[in-house]
Structure 1
Amino acid sequence: MSEDDRPAELRRLSEQLPRFMRLVHALKTQLAKNDNRDRAALVLLFPLARLGPLRQGALAELVHADPSTVSRHVAALVEQGLVHRVADESDGRASRLHVTDAGHAALETLRRERESHLDQVTAAWDDADLAALTTLFGRLLDDIATTLPGTDAGSLPTEPREIR
């Protein structure tokens, strides 16, 4: 790509991102209508399972969500038996969130559902195109994450590509 093409490609990308976000929102809305689970709460299981027990505040910061929203979601996860609180060894007044066996099972179900949907969406793609998208999309997400205000790029844990 020449220097002259870069601004046009950036414009195309900047126009595609809002469409992507709208489609993701529409998909989440459709799934919520057909599902009695609190999918927003379930998504918190991914970083907890990947990174291990976390304090609720650290989880909110990690997922870039309002602490009160995360608190509400965590309460739902605890009530459903998907997460339990364990006293923090370094500060007994605080607790860390641990994923239960039921939480791991719910996480695996959610993961299979995502993968099944993506398998349907990309069924006509060849393996090279799927691999290229996966690599480049992961790179884009990692690079966007490093630009978030108040985020130390070196401290951001990157998500494994298979759960993005």
Structure 2
Amino acid sequence: MRLFDLIPTQYRIAAVGLLLVMLAAGSAALAWTVQGWRYGQQLERQARLHADTLNELSQASAALQRTEQGKRFALVQRLQNKDQTHHKELTDEQTKQARLRDRLATADLQLSVVLAATDATSGCSVLSTTATGRVVHGTTRAQLDPAHAQRIIGITDAGDQGMIALRACQAYAKEVSTPK
């Protein structure tokens, strides 16, 4: 006799049912575990791909930022060079103007203007002398008063400084507006 025959019939059916339920539950638990492993591997692969993508994006962003910083640094250097050039022009022009004013103040230099041909015959009492050592052919000149000459030099000095400042502004605007 077998052990199975010793179990009463109603318990046999319950035992077979219990065995089938345990077999079904075991296979479901095994399937659940295998699916968890597969999904875990897929999630791990996706997380790795996501991390790699983020790393590539951050590297590309850093490279772009370095490039832009390099461009900005180059622009700043060019602007500083141009600023130094324009500052040198301005100081040179101011030095020239100061020397010219000094020469006018010491009567080392005198300014004169050319008179129109009709003014010479109109009986004007302006002296038309020329500096010694010069020969002026055909034009009549009148010497300016040193105070008036100083004012004229001051006006031309302001104009020269304005032109230098305008060139500096134009160079700055051109440098900033043109992409390189």
The answer, yes or no, to whether TM exceeds 0.5 is no
Per the normalisation by structure 1, the TM-score is 0.25
Larger radius of gyration: 2
Task: Determine which structure has the larger helix proportion and give its number.
Answer: 2
Per the normalisation by structure 2, the TM-score is 0.23
Using CA pairs under 8 Å that are at least 6 residues apart, name the structure with larger relative contact order, 1 or 2.
2
